[in-house]
């Protein structure tokens, strides 16, 4: 069964510092992987996704993630944190069964950005 | 930009009462989903819905839960007799295609069962 593990429930960085949020997956088939962001009192917004092709995917707000099959990882990075990046980030793997997709989420990582 | 909306934003109910959570998916989407997030835990899949029927449901989605698309715009989740453990944030999502395409999420309804 597909699953996702996010290491670190909280990550704290200073404004301008590198952001690294870790995600490891388990999948018996080639995975489709997603990062979602949740700002306070809002829904989940897609940051980026990996389906096939280029293993380095770029998303919105300067985020990117690299699919590494050998490490079963899909870590999210951003070179320079902004105060506005403070939010909860969820990694998810897509499970497709008879053509219908469901998302299996990790437990989330709360990113804290200090001035 | 089109978005998924959910009402109410917060629902408080007594144990044993029925609740209906409402969602308006993006208008040209065909696939609909409910997820929930118990406080401090991960977001969990509940059910997917296509062509007026359930396509998949999780083990959480027992006989107390039902979904319906009563008209061309709304998608509802009903819990017949709420339990304390149903307290959670419930997210509705929709997508244009079932496989591999982005699911657009609503802001959620926080359900509190007393």
Minimal Cα–Cα distance from B62 to chain A, Å?
Answer: 17
CB contacts, 8 Å: A101 with chain B = 31, 48, 95, 98-101, 103
Whether residue A101 is predicted with pLDDT greater than 80 in this model: the reply is no
Q: What's the pLDDT at A109?
A: 96
* Mean pLDDT score across all residues of chain A: 91
Q: How far apart are CA A88 and CA A110, in angstroms?
A: 4
Query: Do the Cβ atoms of A82 and A111 come closer than 8 Å?
Result: no
Tokens of B49: 């819905």
Q: What is the per-residue pLDDT for A41?
A: 74
Helix (H, G, I), strand (E, B) or coil at B13: strand
Q: How many CA atoms lie within 13 A of A37 on its CB side?
A: 17
SS3 B107: coil
Q: Is A74 left (phi over 0), alpha (psi -120 to 50) or beta?
A: beta
Mutate one of A43, A53, A92, A99 to test the B interface: name it (highest B CB count within 10 A). Answer: A43
Q: What is the pLDDT of residues B43-69, one digit of tens each?
A: 999 999 988 899 889 999 999 999 999
Predicted confidence (pLDDT) per residue in A10-21, tens digit: 999 999 999 999
B70 band by pLDDT with thresholds 50, 70 and 90: confident
| Interface residue B103 vs chain A (CB under 8 A) | yes
- Tell me the pLDDT band of B99, cut-offs 50, 70 and 90: low
Residues whose CB falls within 8 Å of the CB of residue A92, separated by 6 or more in sequence, listed in order = A4, A33, A34, A35, A36, A103, A104, A105, A106, B43
How far A107 CA lies from chain B's nearest CA (Å)? 4
Q: Which two tokens stand for residue A85?
A: 């990046």
Nearest Cα neighbor of B65 from B95, B51, B45 is B45
Dig out the tokens for B100 from the structure: 């591999």
SS3 A83: helix
Q: Which two tokens stand for residue A51?
A: 């389906």
Contact B48 A94 (CB under 8 A): no
Assign A61 to helix, strand or coil: helix
CA distance readout (Å), B72 to B5, B28, B33, B56: 15, 10, 16, 21
**What was the pLDDT predicted at B89?**
95
Q: Could you tell me if A7 and A21 are in contact, meaning their C-beta atoms sit under 8 angstroms apart? A: no
Please name the residue of chain B whose CA is at the shortest distance from the CA of residue A98.
B55
- Indicate if the pLDDT at residue B100 is higher than 70: no
Could you tell me if B24 lies within 8 Å of chain A, comparing CB atoms? no
pLDDT > 70? residue A100: no
For chain A, percent of residues with pLDDT exceeding 70: 96
Q: How far is CA A76 from CA A6, A16, A19, A67, B1, in A?
A: 11, 16, 8, 10, 26
Interface probe for A, chosen from B21, B30, B33, B43 (most Cβ of A below 10 Å), is: B43
């Amino acid at each position: 069964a597909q699953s996702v593990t996010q290491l670190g429930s909280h990550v704290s960085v200073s404004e301008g510092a590198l952001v690294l949020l870790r995600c490891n997956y388990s999948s018996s088939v080639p995975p489709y992987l997603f990062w979602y962001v949740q700002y306070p009192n809002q829904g989940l917004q897609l940051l980026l996704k990996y389906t096939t092709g280029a293993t380095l995917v770029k998303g919105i707000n300067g985020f990117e993630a690299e699919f590494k099959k050998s490490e079963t990882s899909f870590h999210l990075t951003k070179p320079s944190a902004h105060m506005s990046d403070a939010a909860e980030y969820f990694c998810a793997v897509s499970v497709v069964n008879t053509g219908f997709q469901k998302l299996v989420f990790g437990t989330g990582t709360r990113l804290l950005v200090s001035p | 930009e089109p978005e998924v909306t959910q009402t109410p934003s917060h629902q408080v109910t007594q144990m044993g009462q029925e609740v209906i959570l409402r969602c308006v998916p993006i208008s040209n989407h065909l696939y609909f989903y409910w997820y929930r997030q118990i406080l401090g835990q991960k977001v969990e899949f509940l059910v997917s819905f296509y062509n007026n029927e359930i396509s998949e449901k999780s083990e959480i989605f027992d006989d107390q839960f039902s979904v319906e698309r009563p008209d061309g715009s709304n998608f509802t989740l009903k819990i017949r007799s709420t339990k304390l453990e149903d307290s959670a944030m419930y997210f509705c999502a929709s997508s244009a295609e079932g496989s591999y395409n982005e699911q657009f999420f609503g802001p959620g309804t926080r359900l509190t069962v007393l």
